[in-house]
Structure 1
């Protein structure tokens, strides 16, 4: 079994000379860049680097404001334990609208 694995591998004995190496083509080094390395760094487009656009951030801030307004509306309810219309109906609807606006602001594609 060991002979089968070594069948294609040439073996050397003391009487045989080593095989001559195959001539290789010399590799030309790449020319160095002529740009100075100490100059001003290249600037990338900042709009492409940011994940959201101005419209997205504006909608996010408006959504946070709507959510806070909904919690404020819930706090205005004068019924015991907040069981009035403001605390159980209007406030939660406004908060849910704010969260839906946040969801839209995150998923909206930024304008170029």
Structure 2
């Protein structure tokens, strides 16, 4: 005869406790640089919102450059290799 399939439950599962330390993908410096890049992008959008003057130099030239610099710094934070321990 066929055997009955018993669905594993929390009571029947054997849990193995793993005490190994968790290794993150990036280093602390990478996350710091990424946080700074997010703040720079937010600053660029804040400058872009500006006043009611639509065609001001700050809105058309400076703010997009600040946003692009923030995105560039974010890409650098992602691609930067963590320091060897």
Q: Same fold (TM over 0.5)?
A: yes
| Displacement over 2 Å in runs of 4+ | 40-46
Partner of 2:81: 109
How far apart are 1:42 and its partner, in Å?
A: 4.7
- For structure 2, the 5+ residue unaligned runs are 1-15
Root-mean-square deviation over aligned CA pairs: 1.7
Relative to the length of structure 1, the TM-score reads 0.56
Pick 1 or 2: higher relative contact order, CA cutoff 8 A, min separation 6: 2
Partner of 2:19: 43
- For structure 1, the 5+ residue unaligned runs are 1-39
Counterpart among 17, 26, 30 of residue 52 in structure 1: 26
Counterpart among 48, 57, 61 of residue 74 in structure 1: 48
SS of structure 2 residue aligned to 1:44: coil
Partner of 2:61: 89
Q: Greater Rg, structure 1 or structure 2?
A: 1
Partner of 1:16: none
- Count of residue correspondences: 69
Partner of 2:13: none
